[in-house]
């Protein structure tokens, strides 16, 4: 019999951390673990602030989940990481979320179109969770993915309502 050590998968949610600290955690994980990746779901909160619900996976067995509020500089940092991993970690000087990012545009649609040209693959799928059905579009990058998700009210239609 082969004696293998079982390493449980850990999933932790980080709350009440500054954007600067969250970006530093991404930087440290990417520097120390070559398998580091991001799973991002772009969203807009009730106040109109753009953010990523972020899953930071590293070390083969750990995922940290957190809300990462955005501005253009942070969004560029994340895209550079998705494309080049730890070699794409650029400096960020402004950690203040930008409330104006979503004003006057369909930000989620704009975000999708801006990131489509950089992704390796696109996959559409339907997912059910907690009795709710979601239409998803997943953009895959070398070091992670972006998943756009929209609830479908009529499960016999692929058109969100």
Q: How is the chain split into domains, by residue range?
A: 10-152
Query: How far is residue 29's CA from residue 26's CA, in Å, rounded to a whole number?
Result: 5
CB of 97 within 8 A of CB of 49?
yes
Q: What is the pLDDT of residue 60?
A: 86
Copy the structure tokens of residue 152: 């479908």
* Backbone region of residue 101 per phi and psi (left: phi > 0; alpha: psi in -120 to 50; beta: other values): alpha
Model pTM score: 0.86
Per-residue pLDDT band at 7 (split at 50, 70, 90): low
């Amino acid at each position: 019999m082969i004696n293998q050590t079982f390493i449980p998968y850990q999933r932790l949610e980080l709350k009440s951390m500054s954007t600067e600290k969250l970006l530093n955690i991404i930087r440290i994980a990417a520097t120390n673990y070559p398998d580091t990746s991001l799973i991002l779901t772009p969203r807009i909160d009730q106040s109109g602030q753009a953010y990523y619900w972020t899953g930071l996976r590293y070390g083969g067995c750990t995922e940290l989940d957190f809300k990462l509020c955005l501005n253009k500089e942070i969004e560029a940092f994340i895209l550079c990481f998705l494309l080049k991993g730890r070699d794409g970690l650029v400096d960020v000087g402004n950690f203040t979320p930008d409330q104006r990012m979503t004003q006057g545009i369909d930000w989620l649609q704009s975000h999708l179109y801006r990131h489509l040209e950089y992704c390796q693959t696109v996959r559409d799928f339907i997912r059910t969770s907690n009795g709710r059905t979601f239409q998803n579009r997943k953009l895959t990058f070398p070091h992670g993915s972006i998943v756009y998700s929209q609830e479908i009210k009529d499960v016999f239609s692929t058109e969100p309502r």
